[in-house]
Structure 1
């Protein structure tokens, strides 16, 4: 009789759910998913939760394979030597292999007053905290959204469409990822919604007060509600557990997503830094990294060498309220090109992507391992080679972490 293998997945987001579901293709693998919430959070819909058009949650029964054991708890420490994780509730869970898929959240703002007076928007609890604050504010209240990545753009548009007086404070360029043509389309839609866009040099926020935001160029903008979307960080679980991380706290791995410290630990999603060249954070990379992390685990169980990760991108979706959107096309290497879809078609594509992402999770739950191909970024091999030639094991690039859109 085959020996059973226990695999623990930390984190029930896009990468974690994909990884857990795929692991169920082997009957001799027991899968435990540890997550602090009882429901799956559609992070790419958090701006809709704030605006009141969606609750941004899905029952795990719809996206998680029946064989996956869901443990609602928080991992406080990884005991790599003892092959166990310690839980906030006081218990421990042993593992043979561990998938580290803790995702990302808001970075601690270093701007004076931001922690006290601004409302971050990177997870469910933050969105649920912000929604009643907006509901209680007068319709004429000045609302500032800080950060011009996808989360900031989508939140500003959602609130403006609902009749709010919104100022989007970019701190630089509007939509840094976008091609100039796509950026013009976004700017045009925001203008039609009545959003005041503050971009360019000197627009970095230097202080947040109860009633205003102050900019580097000396301007002071009235703001009765300040929404903070200006950056994302990752949990410090890996670092606290003595595992090697990059400067942002992501678990350092090789190209098979295996921890550089421990072959029993594999990473996926926003908190993974393969070869010090991490992918852009978001669900588009997460739904590819999750299954590939599992393939690495299954290869090791089978005594076979795991294969290098392959991730490719198609572009970036932005909803601009409920009636318009932009889909910015890109090359496989995530570089935006001069082609985009806009208007109502863009909105339909965005909604299609949101729904299809959940369906993709559910499909993997029903037919684990059915997907065997991955989009390829041929340039990654050249980047890896150049990076290793320059400074082996130390060089890296920062991903676009300004937002959390698909």
Structure 2
């Protein structure tokens, strides 16, 4: 009887679960998923966990294919030459192929006092740590949110809707949004009573238990400071001697295959294909997980994997439980300035946001039941990405001056 090909998926977020489910398409592949937690975390709902409006977790039995073995443990080191992974709980797991999908988390703030006095919410454990602190202060308390990406905006509006006195401190409000989208977000925040401090002078220089200090000398008092500025990735790849980009993401080619080892494939926030990583998001993670799974399946079959091609539809942001916004984008993730939201469309935007949250879990369930079912448009291409890669490969003209 032919032995099965052992594939180990490290990380059980959107990318890891999608990859694991896709890999069960072949009966001769044994898939093991290693994850530190026994439940799947809906990361895009963690701000709701903080606000107490959703628990943000799903049983793995609801999203993982039956053939996937779940090992609840953390990976400490990858020995690529030996094809083994050392686990924090002791022992190790071998593999024929490895999918590196460790995701992202809170970045080191690098600001005095932030690590001691601010509360990040990039993980389930961080959200659980913050929730009782907010409950102890109660509605009406002053809360400062640092950072105005999707997490910061959603946390600020959710808490303001519950009666907290929220101040949002940032460089740019919604840096990934079109100017039209930013105006909609700002208007909604004004209606909720959120104070927005933005610009270079609003750079945080230190955090104390009672306040946030800004570059222009201002102090923003607050009972709680929530830190949402920036994401980092685990150092597992670097610690294991694999090539990473400056942020720590695993460096791969366009098929998501490690530049060091063709038995290691990356997916999600922790992947840096051709040193042109995609924006960290669940929208990218799910697609990258499917592509990573397809790459491994192609290598097992002895065929050439297809290059990465992602299809972005837009960015969806909740603005409290009763409002939201969906901003349309080009397929390469560039906003086009058209969105659902504003005073008239805010409830529709909230409905779209909830639909997006539910659909991300539904896609994992569909893939678990029928591996290969979740397919993204075959016509998807990214001309700008292809042009950047082409320019990189063009040799310099003869006699060109060197830098």
Q: What band does the TM-score fall into relative to the shorter chain? A: over 0.9
The answer to whether 1:48 aligns with 2:51 is no
1:45 partner SS? helix
The answer to whether 1:382 aligns with 2:387 is yes
Contact 2:43–2:56 (CA<8 Å) still a contact in 1? yes
CA distance in 2, matches of 1:204, 1:125: 27
Query: In 2 relative to 1, CA 372–327 (structure 1 residues): closer, same or farther, beyond 3 Å?
Result: closer
Q: Map 1:232-243 onto structure 2 (within 5 A).
A: 232-243=231-242
What is aligned with 1:66? 66
CA distance in 2, matches of 1:339, 1:18: 30
Cα drift, residue 370 of structure 1:
2.0
CA distance in 2, matches of 1:322, 1:52: 12
Which deviations, in whole Å up to 9, do the C-alpha atoms of 1:284-326 show, x marking residues without a partner?
0011000110111111111111111111211101000000001
Q: Map 1:318-397 onto structure 2 (within 5 A).
A: 318-342=317-341, 343-374=346-377, 375-389=380-394
CA distance in 2, matches of 1:307, 1:318: 32
CA distance in 2, matches of 1:121, 1:383: 34
CA distance in 2, matches of 1:223, 1:388: 52
What is aligned with 1:394? none
CA distance in 2, matches of 1:150, 1:288: 19
What is aligned with 1:125? 125
The answer to whether 1:105 aligns with 2:108 is no
Query: In 2 relative to 1, CA 146–379 (structure 1 residues): closer, same or farther, beyond 3 Å?
Result: same
What is aligned with 2:161? 161
Contact 2:311–2:376 (CA<8 Å) still a contact in 1? no
Provide the aligned length of Structure 1 versus Structure 2: 390
Cα drift, residue 187 of structure 1:
0.3
2:200 partner SS? coil
CA distance in 1, matches of 2:358, 2:330: 23
CA distance in 2, matches of 1:40, 1:221: 36
Cα drift, residue 379 of structure 1:
2.2
CA distance in 1, matches of 2:360, 2:395: 38
Tell me, which stretches of 5 or more residues in structure 1 are unaligned?
Answer: 392-406
Which deviations, in whole Å up to 9, do the C-alpha atoms of 1:75-122 show, x marking residues without a partner?
000010110000001110000000000000000110000000000010
What is aligned with 1:223? 222
Deviates most, 369-378 or 156-165? 369-378
What is aligned with 1:404? none
CA distance in 1, matches of 2:138, 2:372: 51
2:359 partner SS? helix
Which deviations, in whole Å up to 9, do the C-alpha atoms of 1:137-157 show, x marking residues without a partner?
143321000001000000000
CA distance in 2, matches of 1:56, 1:196: 27
What is aligned with 1:403? none
Contact 2:363–2:374 (CA<8 Å) still a contact in 1? no
Deviates most, 365-374 or 248-257? 365-374
What is aligned with 2:273? 274
Which deviations, in whole Å up to 9, do the C-alpha atoms of 1:23-79 show, x marking residues without a partner?
001111000000000000000000001111100000111100010000000000001
What is aligned with 2:399? none
CA distance in 2, matches of 1:201, 1:109: 17
Cα drift, residue 388 of structure 1:
4.1
1:327 partner SS? strand
What is aligned with 1:250? 249
Which deviations, in whole Å up to 9, do the C-alpha atoms of 1:315-344 show, x marking residues without a partner?
101000000001111111111111000100
**Structure 1 length normalisation: TM-score?**
0.94
CA distance in 2, matches of 1:328, 1:376: 20
What is aligned with 1:399? none
Cα drift, residue 389 of structure 1:
4.4
CA distance in 2, matches of 1:152, 1:355: 21
Which deviations, in whole Å up to 9, do the C-alpha atoms of 1:338-384 show, x marking residues without a partner?
10001001000000000011000000000001234444323221121
CA distance in 1, matches of 2:190, 2:308: 41
What is aligned with 1:261? 260
Tell me, which stretches of 5 or more residues in structure 2 are unaligned?
Answer: 397-403
**Structure 2 length normalisation: TM-score?**
0.95
